[in-house]
Amino acid sequence: EAQVTQNPRYLITVTGKKLTVTCSQNMNHEYMSWYRQDPGLGLRQIYYSMNVEVTDKGDVPEGYKVSRKEKRNFPLILESPSPNQTSLYFCASSLSPGPTIYGYTFGSGTRLTVV
Amino acid sequence: GEDVEQSLFLSVREGDSSVINCTYTDSSSTYLYWYKQEPGAGLQLLTYIFSNMDMKQDQRLTVLLNKKDKHLSLRIADTQTGDSAIYFCAGGSGNTGKLIFGQGTTLQVKP
């Protein structure tokens, strides 16, 4: 089944403890992106990647890192999480960086709570 | 910068039509999309409209695009309780592949 897989689905952590949220897609998509969803704010882009080894900042990159060493994987790293990073995170992928009729394929989300 | 705006909440009775509205600022979007998010799930692409179209119909869904007013709407005919969800409109931004999302409209369908 074509899909974007995120892990974990739920995570509660403490301030300052490094964590990684994994994202993997099996559709050979070039483009991958991370979004965070907060009530009343919609989805805001954190980072994106146009292809392997090519990453760039989105609208809210502070406090996050990403890497794209392989085409299928795009992990999101929080080196020192803070409570304001408590949010619902989505990984998404797309066949190509440009617009298509398929839009993005989204993962199921990771609900992160930082205490 | 680019912006997409939606009203936050809509409540309808089962069997009525629902109309969810969206306004956007970036007129360069090639496609405009509607996504549906059910509780506890990710976003699923519901439908899209190409920027040179005025209307697109897909079963119970009708998308209207008014390019002059930069207004997009999604009409759901014969709304069912299973349509209760958050609906996001989104538009493309330039050639970075970034989709700009609205805040999401929560559709509540009462039996």
pLDDT of residue B31: 87
Average the pLDDT over A17-31 and give the result: 96
pLDDT of residue B105: 95
- Number of CB atoms found within 10 A of residue A90's CB: 24
Are A96 and B97 in contact (CB < 8 Å)? yes
Residue range A54-81, pLDDT digits in tens: 999 999 999 999 999 999 999 999 999 9
Category of B53 on φ-ψ map: left (φ > 0), alpha (ψ -120 to 50) or beta: beta
pLDDT of residue B1: 61
B49, pLDDT greater than 70? yes
Q: Which of A33-42, A71-80, B47-56, B89-98 has the highest mean pLDDT?
A: A71-80
A106 → closest Cβ in B29, B43, B104: B43
pLDDT of residue A38: 93
Q: Which residues of B touch A40 (CB under 8 A)?
A: 8, 103
Tell me the three-class secondary structure of A72-101, residue by residue.
CECCEEECCCCHHHCEEEEEEEECCCCCCC
Q: Which residue in chain B has the smallest CA separation from A97? A: B97
Are A97 and B33 in contact (CB < 8 Å)? no
Residue range A74-107, pLDDT digits in tens: 999 999 999 999 999 999 999 887 777 788 999 9
B35/chain A closest Cα distance in angstroms: 9
Average the pLDDT over B31-43 and give the result: 91
B17/chain A closest Cα distance in angstroms: 24
Q: Which residues of B touch A106 (CB under 8 A)?
A: 35, 42-44
Mean pLDDT across chain B, nearest whole number? Answer: 91
Give one DSSP letter per residue of A34-87, joined into a string.
EEEEETTTEEEEEEEEEETTEEEE-S--TT-EE--SSSSB--EEESS--GGG-E
pLDDT of residue B107: 97
pLDDT of residue B95: 63
Are B45 and A97 in contact (CB < 8 Å)? no
pLDDT of residue A97: 75
Distance of CA B106 to the CA centre of its chain: 11
Give the count of Cβ contacts less than 8 A between chain A and B.
71
Partner B contacted by A101 (CB < 8 A)? yes
Are A42 and B102 in contact (CB < 8 Å)? yes
Average the pLDDT over B48-74 and give the result: 94
pLDDT of residue B94: 61
